[in-house]
Amino acid sequence: MKKQPVKALALLLLCSLPLSAVTERVYLEKTKDNVTTHRFIIKNRIPAGYRVNLETIDRDRRTSQVFNLDAQLGTISWSYEDPGENTRIMAERKDNNIILQGKARGKAITKKFKINDLPWNQSFNLGLEKFALDDIKKTKFWAIGTSGPGYMKITKFSVKRKKTETISVLGGKTSAVHIQISLSGLLSMFWTGNYWYRKSDGFFLRYKGKNKPGAPVSIMEISEEKNEDEIEKDQ
């Protein structure tokens, strides 16, 4: 992979706190009439980086993803499986190209996305945990869509730091950094999401926004966290 611009490296490398060695996080995403469960298993057992497994359960629909992340939480490779849509794809970054191939909605797919030195942040909310710890106001990243008009297309996103707020999570109050993510440029009018990260360690706590135009407001929030010992005890 080509070197990232000095400014991008600075905002990432100044944040020294990594994701936990092995943790399980459960987030509940609630809309007016539905609850979706997102279960993350985070491991730092790949060379100089992390492996994140994500299982999402939405009513009868179950999707799974695997993210291999570098030490700065940028995506190296990603797989996505949605049996209900007959979708199973894999994507990998090679220099400033992302190669995607597999089957999407029952049809074979092969795509090559040409990007620049900006990070590929397919893990989205987790991928900004180090940014949340820094004091840089803005950044951008690339991500591939899995629904709506951006399905299996590459899109550039803009990130803005808003302010530090006190929010209530897990039965208590905590100081959190409010970050806003939107589609880049004029496309920002079509989607904006708000994210909150714990100020002390950058831990992703909450998301609020509409997942697509016309959709109801969703609130995704941490509901449970386990460390390695607790995970092994439950097995």
> Is the model's pLDDT at 211 over the cut of 80?
no
Residue 11 pLDDT: 32
Residue 41 pLDDT: 94
The answer to whether 157 touches 171, Cβ cutoff 8 Å, is no
Comparing CA positions, the residue from 217, 215, 151, 216 lying closest to residue 207 is: 217
The answer to whether 89 touches 80, Cβ cutoff 8 Å, is yes
Percentage of the residues of the chain whose pLDDT score is greater than 70: 86
Find the range with the poorest average confidence among 86-100, 121-135, 166-180, 181-195: 181-195
> Is the model's pLDDT at 216 over the cut of 90?
no
Enter the pTM of the model: 0.86
Domain boundaries, the chain: 6-234
Q: How confident is the model at residue 232 (pLDDT cuts 50, 70, 90)?
A: low
Find the range with the poorest average confidence among 22-26, 28-32, 62-66, 154-158: 22-26
Find the range with the poorest average confidence among 51-65, 169-183, 207-221: 207-221
Measured CA to CA, the distance from residue 145 to residue 143 in angstroms comes to: 7
> Is the model's pLDDT at 53 over the cut of 80?
yes
Measured CA to CA, the distance from residue 124 to residue 107 in angstroms comes to: 26
> Is the model's pLDDT at 21 over the cut of 70?
no
Q: For the domain with range 6-234, which CATH number is right: 1.10.3470, 2.50.20, 3.90.75, 3.40.140? A: 2.50.20
> Is the model's pLDDT at 17 over the cut of 80?
no
> Is the model's pLDDT at 195 over the cut of 90?
yes
First to last CA, the chain: 38
Percentage of the residues of the chain whose pLDDT score is greater than 90: 69
pLDDT tens by residue, 116-166? 999 999 999 999 999 999 889 999 999 999 988 889 999 999 999 999 999
Ramachandran assignment for 232, one of left (phi > 0), alpha (psi -120 to 50 degrees), beta (any other) = alpha
